[in-house]
């Protein structure tokens, strides 16, 4: 199999998994330059959660869990490292003493990636980080569709009087004209609510919402059809709050909710996005201190590989390599 001459991935068939320094999906650790097509990066920010913190340690733990990942997708056959120049470009700088400065730093960092033509796949960090990421992407792509996987709709106006935190990004992004509401799909919503109206903003804005009750009624196949149809044509972003998945499989998160998406279904849903114009993605809310077995980190590394495969394929299809 021909390898991209620009890139020599670390092959676990040659270099043992337990050796060397850990990187995201075993890619080379390189600076974010114009040579990079897809930048895997960490955003170690957790200053805007209202319950259990520790998501700042997510990127480092996903690097360790990435040791398991191989080079080729088992179902699609996509070998992303043969298609695109994919690197671990390190972590976005944040200020652990200042939320507002950190949000600005994150936006500026992703502005820089856009200028260099790098498609980002970010590992959080709490679920505030999609807002500054999407602000940067909007300057390049305009309004986007989004697949938002989460136990919570993240459309509250405020928590404790605060407007930018891990429960508000899907509202702020709409207010700021970042999202095309007709191409917004939210899936996985469940759990007790603050108020009966917690989801009203989603519905009034025209988002398509598949709660876990809906998902169980309609089944995976029909849900995938709805996701694919809603996202339609044009640029899409993928944001996974890991609490969208069932805490039996993904316990290492700040706000676990019973009765979520199982990892197998999440894999199949992501595979169904092959062919879409994917412009960026994140997986957030992993708190390794709450993950004693490390299984959440392993799950996230595998979901990041799923996203990487469809993203590399997308860049090739849309002529962005």
- What is the contact surface with Mn ion in residues (CB under 5 A)? 127, 150, 154, 241
**Nearer Cβ to Mn ion (69/122):** 122
Closest by Cα among 62, 55, 71, 64 to 12: 71
**Nearer Cβ to Mn ion (105/253):** 253
Shortest spacing between CB 286 and Mn ion, in angstroms: 12
Shortest spacing between CB 37 and Mn ion, in angstroms: 28
Shortest spacing between CB 147 and Mn ion, in angstroms: 13
**Nearer Cβ to Mn ion (80/124):** 124
Return all residues near 91 (Cβ < 8 A) that are at least 6 apart. 41, 42, 43, 44, 59
DSSP secondary structure letter of residue 286: B
Residue 148 labeled ligand binder = no
**Nearer Cβ to Mn ion (13/160):** 160
Shortest spacing between CB 157 and Mn ion, in angstroms: 15
CA–centroid distance for 94 within its chain: 18
Q: Which two tokens stand for residue 175?
A: 């207010």
In terms of DSSP H, where are the helices of the chain? 58-65, 80-83, 99-115, 130-141, 169-175, 200-205, 212-231, 263-271, 295-317
DSSP secondary structure letter of residue 49: -
Residue 104 labeled ligand binder = no
Shortest spacing between CB 272 and Mn ion, in angstroms: 22
CA separation for the pair 106, 129 (Å, rounded): 8
- Cis peptide, bond prior to residue 125, ω within 30 of zero: yes
**Nearer Cβ to Mn ion (127/190):** 127
Shortest spacing between CB 241 and Mn ion, in angstroms: 3
What are φ and ψ of residue 46, in 5° steps? -145, 40
Residue 37 labeled ligand binder = no
Residue 246 labeled ligand binder = no
- Note whether 95 and 108 are within 8 A (CB): no
Shortest spacing between CB 154 and Mn ion, in angstroms: 4
**Nearer Cβ to Mn ion (162/217):** 162
Q: Is 57 helix (H, G, I), strand (E, B) or coil?
A: helix
**Nearer Cβ to Mn ion (154/180):** 154
Find the Cα–Cα–Cα–Cα dihedral 305, 311, 314, 318, rounded to 10°. Answer: -150
Q: Which two tokens stand for residue 237?
A: 């972003």
Count of alpha carbons within 13 angstroms of residue 118, beta-carbon side: 28
CA separation for the pair 257, 246 (Å, rounded): 7
Binding positions = 127, 150, 152, 154, 241, 243
Binding positions for Mn(2+) = 127, 150, 152, 154, 241, 243
């Amino acid at each position: 199999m021909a390898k991209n001459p620009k890139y020599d991935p670390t092959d676990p068939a040659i270099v043992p998994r337990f050796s060397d320094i850990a990187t995201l999906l075993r890619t080379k650790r390189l600076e974010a330059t114009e040579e990079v097509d897809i930048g895997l990066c960490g955003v170690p920010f957790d200053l805007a959660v209202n319950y259990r913190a520790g998501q700042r340690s997510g990127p480092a733990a996903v690097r360790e869990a990435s040791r398991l990942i191989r080079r080729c997708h088992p179902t699609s056959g996509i070998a992303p490292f043969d298609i695109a120049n994919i690197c671990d470009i390190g972590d976005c700088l944040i200020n652990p003493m200042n939320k507002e400065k950190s949000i600005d730093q994150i936006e500026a960092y992703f502005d820089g990636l856009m200028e260099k033509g790098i498609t980002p796949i970010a590992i959080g960090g709490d679920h505030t980080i999609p807002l500054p990421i999407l602000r940067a992407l909007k300057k390049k792509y305009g309004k986007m569709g989004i697949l938002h996987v989460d136990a919570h709709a993240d459309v509250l106006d405020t928590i404790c009087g605060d407007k930018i935190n891990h429960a508000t990004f899907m509202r702020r992004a709409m207010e700021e004209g970042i999202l095309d509401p007709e191409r917004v799909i939210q899936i996985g919503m469940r759990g007790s609510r603050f108020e009966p109206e917690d989801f009203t903003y989603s519905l009034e804005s025209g988002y398509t919402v598949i709660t876990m009750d809906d998902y169980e009624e309609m089944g995976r196949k029909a849900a995938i059809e709805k996701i694919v149809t809603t996202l339609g044509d044009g640029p899409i972003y993928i944001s996974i709050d890991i609490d969208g998945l069932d805490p039996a499989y993904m316990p290492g998160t700040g706000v676990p909710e019973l009765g979520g998406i199982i990892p197998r279904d999440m894999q199949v849903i992501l595979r169904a996005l092959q062919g879409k114009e994917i412009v960026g993605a994140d997986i957030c809310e992993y708190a390794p201190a709450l993950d004693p077995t490390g299984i959440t980190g392993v799950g996230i590394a595998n979901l990041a590989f799923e996203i990487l495969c469809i993203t590399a394929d997308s860049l090739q299809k849309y002529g962005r390599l």
